[in-house]
Amino acid sequence: MGAVIFAKHKQVCGAIDSMKIKVFVTLKNGVLDPQGKAIHHALEGLGFRGINDVRAGRLIELDTDENISDENVQDMCRKLLANTVIEDFEIERN
Amino acid sequence: MKAAVIQFPGSNCDRDMKVALEHIMGADTIVHWHGDADLPEDIEFIAIPGGFSYGDYLRSGAMAARSPVMKAIIKAANRGVPTLGVCNGFQILTESGLLPGALMRNASQNFICRDVQLRVNNDTMFTKCYADGETISIPVAHHDGNYFADEATIKTLEDNNRIAFRYFEDVNGSQDDIAGITNENGNILGMMPHPERAIDVKHGGIDGQKLFHALIKKLA
């Protein structure tokens, strides 16, 4: 019973001990982005004007313990989440 | 001679590769499941086959490159064990850092599945049975074959004769029309075209055979 109450409490107060981290992965400047080009072309085909360029990327959301360090997340990006040969990453905490 | 074909969830050219190693190289070939971190020590040749490991999640080859068997493959390849990655295997080799560069989405955005003409550089252990500059026809079947590396890397590959195969035409947007490259020591080859699909007249061509012949000579 105690565990159930604790779980409910955790859910309500989730912000206290968990954290959402957003990792944005984008192609480096100078790396051709065929997907972005195709999206650009399709938007223009739909009649949208004034778009100079489109770059497509990826958003990865991590639900983590609050005490996880920036270095740790950067390490995750370098080792798996981004391919640093072609991609840059940005980390956003809230 | 003992060879291993590495099998990931989503590999689909593992059987064809095993047939090529058995019938053309005459190798005693095992299919090794990626989840088994212990690759037998006596393996003399490693093949990473094509397919869609992990459904191409995150990036093609990204998940497979971090799977349990990869530590053993990296160790063996760095010890000099000849290692061939074809298509998804090439993507896994770049993702694991065994080969430089990256394979991006084809410039046309299309999945490309057809025979292509390649020009061979025969100055590698994998291509020495071809004539230098020989033109061969090998099928490709990929969505992410657009080879990218920074200028310094491309120059290093060129200066050290490490571009084993080049497309005759712009197939997928690859820099320098690169279809296959080797590592610095020359014992690892990654290539997008499928030599194991060109080893029998019933395949429509046998231009892939000489690659496997070269390995018999190397290993004999």
Q: What is the CATH number of the domain that holds B201?
A: 3.40.50.880
Q: Kindly provide the ipTM of the predicted complex, given to two decimals.
A: 0.85
pLDDT value of position B218:
60
Is A5 within the bounds of a domain?
no
Q: What is the CATH number of the domain that holds A41?
A: 3.30.1280.10
Is A10 within the bounds of a domain?
no
pLDDT value of position B220:
55
What is d(CA B89, CA B79) in angstroms, rounded to the nearest whole number?
19
Query: Domain range holding B131?
Result: 2-219
A14: pLDDT strictly greater than 80: no
What is d(CA A50, CA A44) in angstroms, rounded to the nearest whole number?
9
* Among B32, B87, B95, B142, the one annotated catalytic: B87
Residue from A28, A32, A85 whose CB has the most chain B CBs within 10 Å, to mutate: A85
Count CB-CB contacts under 10 A for residue B153: 15
A2: pLDDT strictly greater than 70: no
- CB contact, 8 Å: A30 with chain B? no
pLDDT averaged per 10 residues, chain B (length 220): 96 97 95 96 96 95 96 96 98 98 94 97 96 97 96 97 97 97 98 97 96 79
Count CB-CB contacts under 10 A for residue B36: 13
* Among B32, B34, B142, B194, the one annotated catalytic: B194
Interval A34-62 mean pLDDT: 94
Is A8 within the bounds of a domain?
no
Question: Residue A35: pLDDT band by 50, 70, 90 thresholds?
Answer: confident
Distances in Å between the alpha carbon of A3 and those of A6, A7, A9, A10, A18? 5, 6, 10, 10, 18
3-state secondary structure (DSSP) of residue B124:
coil
Domain count for chain B = 1
In chain A, which residue's Cα lies nearest the Cα of B95? A83
CB pairs under 8 A between A and B: 36
Is A38 within the bounds of a domain?
yes
Query: Domain range holding A80?
Result: 17-93
Domain count for chain A = 1
